[in-house]
Chains A and B, each alone.
Chain A
Amino acid sequence: QVQLQESGPGLVKPSETLSLACTVSGSSISTYYWTWIRQSPGTGLEWIGCIYSTGSTNYNPSLKSRVTISVDTSNNQFSLSLSSVTAADTAVYYCARETYYSDSRGYSGHAFDIWGQGTLVTVSS
């Protein structure tokens, strides 16, 4: 059974860097896209970015200047770093897996299938 578990501080001070890790169990971190998503009452679900097992990344342009996602294949983990945080970055942060599919209709792509339980990060002094 594949499981994703987020970990990291639940409280971060304004202007500091938010750092979270997602530990993957039951699945190799290779050959998938690994994603960070956040959710706050004000902005709903927001895609932060993703990383492929090779280290190739895509970031949301709205956060790109502050975001770094990295992967540690030896420990089956990937991580999120978000710098210069403000109260607007207060949210529940989820990690998720995108899996490749190819179906009988000839369609193929990468879609979310597994999510972590989420971790609340509050930005406050």
Chain B
Amino acid sequence: DIQMTQAPSSLSASVGDRVTITCRASQAITNYLAWFQQKPGEAPKSLIYAASSLQTGVPSRFSGSGYGTDFTLTISSLQPEDFATYYCQQYNTHPRTFGQGTKLEIK
């Protein structure tokens, strides 16, 4: 299985900050990388696919980049509704695997 490792595990930031979360795959996955946002008690929400393509309706302050094994999710200017847990996921091979999550908290 491909292991997905996110950093940091948690992050404190303020409204308006720019934040970056990283995700590393244990082997190359080209750009078959997705990002999800999950708020407490809710299902994950799809944000990004193909490493950098935004799902319909996702605000443009979210962006993704990367190829191969190293990827990033950037939120350009944090809004109150962005405080949540973020997961990366590879879909290069089965089984699909997820990162352990990054909890983004209000400073």
Contact = CB atoms under 8 A, between A and B. Distances in A.
B98 A45 contact: yes
A6 to B, nearest CB: 10
Contacts of A46: 98
B95 A61 contact: yes
Kindly state the interface size class of chain B when it binds its partner.
20 to 34
Contacts, number: 66
Given A107-B50, A111-B34, A45 B87 contact: yes
Q: Is chain A's interface secondary structure helix, strand, loop, or mixed overall?
A: strand
Contact of A110 (B43, B46, B89, B91): B91
Contacts of A115: 43-46
Residues of A in contact with B, size category: 20 to 34
B46 A112 contact: yes
B31 interface: yes
B20 interface: no
B43 A117 contact: yes
B101 interface: yes
- Among A112, A115, A116, the most chain B Cβ lie within 10 Å of the Cβ of A112
A44 B101 contact: yes
A103 B44 CA distance: 24
Contacts of B36: 112
Contact of B44 (A45, A61, A105, A111): A45
Given A44-B101, A101-B53, A107-B50, A118 B34 contact: no
Interface of B: 1, 30-32, 34, 36, 42-46, 49-50, 53, 55, 87, 89, 91, 94-98, 100-101
